[in-house]
Amino acid sequence: MSHIECSELTISISEIRVCNNLSFSINSSESWAILGMNGCGKTTLLHTLAGLLPAQSGDISINTASLNNLSRRDIAQQLGLLMQHQEDHFPGTVLETVLIGRHPHLKSWQWESDNDRQIAHDALALVGLNDFDERSILTLSGGERQRVALATLLAQQTKIRLLDEPVNHLDIHHQHEVMSLLTSDNDNIANVFVLHDINLAIRYCTHALLMFGNGKTKQGSCVEVLTEDNLTELYQHPIKEISRQDQRWFIAN
């Protein structure tokens, strides 16, 4: 079972406290949504969990090993990160881009194998880009480029996935297609999503972490944490719950 654990984690951006003494565990088969207003530090928290930014105090461990004791290669073999924005400074094909996801599993100067290329092809098929192998990465729409980024993450084949706004640039059809894809195999995967859509969170996630922007956080199962009162406080705007049978939705009141 793969998991990532935070213990007494304190993070700040300049004078803004992102979280204060935050402790929680994310286990295989769980999908967590990180929710909060713009600027509260959701991306900063995600990058800290990935080991890209330091915390002021506390510890993060992956499968009981402290992040501080792991090499970047070790981390990348266990944990994948989808950035919020994709930047392409050099031309390349879609397949070449997706193959970047295989690099943590290669030795120095080792070329990708037929098996690596098959994994990349399979990942592209999963996101509906079967015939895009030789397309230039610079010719893609925003939504297509986002799906290539997701394919790159899938090709990395990690058991822990951190995803910053994974449905960015995607239409409604592809938003649900991607969220369903990422959570359908969650018996073996731990997902952490930064999301802006409460209803995607409650439909596809098992747990939620609310970030209030002043160091205060609240976390737990979606059933317990995603309530009218909590979300109204979180977004500083009245939020109303609508339910029918076993389904719940939230709207701005």
Q: What is the CATH number of the domain that holds 43?
A: 3.40.50.300
Which comes out higher in pLDDT, residue 157 or 91? Answer: 157
Q: How far apart are CA 226 and CA 60, in angstroms?
A: 25
Asked whether residue 196 is assigned to any structural domain, the reply reads: yes
User: Does 1 score more than 70 pLDDT?
Assistant: no
In a domain, 151, yes or no: no
In the beta sheet, which residues pair with residue 243? 248
Tally of domains within the chain = 1
Res 109: pLDDT: 85
Q: The whole model's pTM is what?
A: 0.94
Residue type for position 43:
T
Per-residue pLDDT band at 158 (split at 50, 70, 90): very high
Domain assignment present for residue 105? The answer is: no
Q: Which amino acid is at 178?
A: V
Q: What pLDDT shows up at residue 100? A: 95
Q: For residue 85, give Cα distances in angstroms to 107, 140, 149.
A: 28, 14, 9
Stretch 12-16: mean pLDDT: 87
Does the residue 133 lie in any domain? Answer: no
Q: 101-156: per-residue pLDDT in tens?
A: 999 999 888 898 999 999 999 999 999 999 999 999 999 999 999 999 999 999 99
Is 2 within 8 Å of 28 (Cβ atoms)?
A: yes
Distance CA 198, CA 33 (A): 9
Residue 102 lies in a domain: no
Residue 22's pLDDT is 96
Distance CA 177, CA 134 (A): 24
Residue 149 lies in a domain: no
Q: Indicate the SS3 state at residue 220.
A: strand
The whole-number pLDDT of residue 187 equals 66
Looking at the domain assignment, is residue 92 inside a domain? no
Buried b (16+ CB within 10 A) or exposed e, 163-196: bbbbbbbbeeebbebbbeebbeebeebbbbbbbe
Structure confidence by residue, pLDDT tens digits, 57-106? 999 999 999 999 999 999 999 999 999 988 888 889 999 999 999 999 99
Average pLDDT estimate for 9-33: 93
State the Rg of the chain over Cα: 18
**What is the domain extent for residue 187?**
3-87+159-252
Residue 44 resides in a domain: yes
pLDDT tens readout for residues 221-244: 999 999 999 999 999 999 999 998
